[in-house]
Amino acid sequence: MQGTALQRFVSNVVKLPQKKYYNHQTLHKLAAEIGLPGHLVDLRNEIIHGDSGYAGGCTVETALETSFMWIKNYYWYPESTQMNGRTAKRHQNPSRDWKCFMKSLNKYACMLLNDNENDDTDDRKSLKLLTLLVETFHHSYTIDPQGCIDAVVEILLVPLGQKCKLQSSGNRKMDKCGCFFNFHAIKGIDTFLKAILINNGSTQLMLNSLLRKLQENKEVASAWIILIVASILKGPTLKGKKGKNGICQRHFLSLQKNGVNWKRIACKLLTLEEEWSVDLATKIMNSSESNISEVQIKKIMSL
C-alpha cells in the first residue's frame, strides 16, 4: 500500500509544471521545477519498473515522510498563509521561495556530487548558483528552519538510496590522509554551510537532522556528525583516527559556535550505545569549548 501510494503521488505531482502534455519532459526535470527531491522519482521508477520488485520497508516510509514535508512547504503552508491573511516578512510568495530553494539545492548537489577537481568548470556559473542557493535558503529559513535544514541533509549531505559520492577514494593527493570525505567535495560544501549556519541554533538543527538520519545511512551520517563536531570544537582529541570516519584538521569545516546545546548532543550520542558515538560524546564532554561542567558530566553519565 505504501509503495503504491508513493508511486501514484510522484506520478501525479510531477505533472504540475507540464502545461503541454505533448511536449515531453523527463520526470526528473519536472520534479526539479517544483523542488521535488530526485530520489523520490528514482524510487517511484523502482517500484513500477524494478526487475527485482520493490524493496519496501524503511526506505519507502522515509520517502513518504519526505513527500509529506514537500506537500507542507509547497502547498499547505502557502495556502494557510493566504487563508489567514498572513504574509511572510519581506517575502510575498513563500511557495515560490521554497521552490526556488529546492531547485537550486538540487542543482548544487548535482554539481558537487558529479564534479571532480580535474573538470574545467565555470567558476562564475558555480558562484552564481551558490549565491542564489544561499539567498533562497535564508528566505525559506524564516518560514520553516527545520524543514530547510532537513532538505540540505536529505539532498546534499546524506542523499537517500545513493552511494556516497563524497567519500574519499584515496586516489587524490589531498585525500592521502585517509579521511572519510574527499577534500574537493568538502570545499564546496564548506562554503555553503558556512553561509547558511549563521543563525543561532541552526547548527543544532543540523546535528539533530543528522542524528535522525543514522537509521537510514549510519556510515555517512555519523561521519558528518563527527566532522561537524570536530570542526566547531577544534580540540586536538577530536581529530579522530585516520581511516573510517576519521578526519584531520585539513578537512575541518569553517563553522562557528552558534548556540549548540552540547549537553543535549552528548546525551543523544550516549543513548546510541555505539563505539563511535560514546567516544565522540566523551570527547565533547572533555572539551573546554563545550562548556560542560563536571557536575553536568556526572549527571549525563548517570542517565
Whose CA is closest to 140, among 227, 184, 199, 208?
Answer: 199
DSSP letter string over the chain?
-HHHHHHHHHHHHTTTT---TTS---HHHHHHHTT--HHHHHHHHHHHH-TT----THHHHHHHHHHHHHHIIIIIHHHHHHHTT---TT-S-HHHHHHHHHHHHHHHHHHHHH--TTS---HHHHHHHHHHHHHHHHHHHTT-HHHHHHHHIIIIIS-TTS--TTB--S-SGGGTT--SB-HHHHHHHHHHHHHHTTSTTHHHHHHHHHHHHTTT-HHHHHHHHHHHHHHHH--GGGS--SSTT---GGG------SS--HHHHHHHHHHH--HHHHHHHHHHHH-GGGT--HHHHHHHHH-
Residue 273 has pLDDT above 50, yes or no: yes
pLDDT digits (tens, 9 = 90+) for 26-42: 787 888 777 788 888 88
pLDDT of residue 88: 42
pLDDT at 87: 42
Which one has a higher pLDDT value, 78 or 171?
78
- Please state the separation of Cα 270 from the chain's center in Å: 23
Structural contact between residues 199 and 264, judged by C-beta atoms closer than 8 angstroms: no
Grid look-up 548537489 returns 109
User: Has residue 177 got a pLDDT over 90?
Assistant: no
Over residues 64-78, the mean pLDDT reads 76
Higher per-residue confidence, 66 vs 209 = 209
pLDDT tens for 179-230 read 777 777 778 888 899 889 888 889 999 999 999 999 888 888 998 898 899 8
Question: 181 pairs with which residues across the strands?
Answer: 167
Write out the DSSP string of 15-50: TTT---TTS---HHHHHHHTT--HHHHHHHHHHHH-
Q: Which residue has the cell 574545467?
A: 120
pLDDT-based confidence at residue 151 (cuts at 50, 70, 90): very high
Place of cell 521508477: 45
Q: What is the CA angle 122-123-128, rounded to 5?
A: 105
pTM beyond 0.85: the answer is no
- Grid cell, residue 289, equals 569549548
- Quick check: 91 pLDDT over 60? no
Encoded amino acid at 33, one letter: E
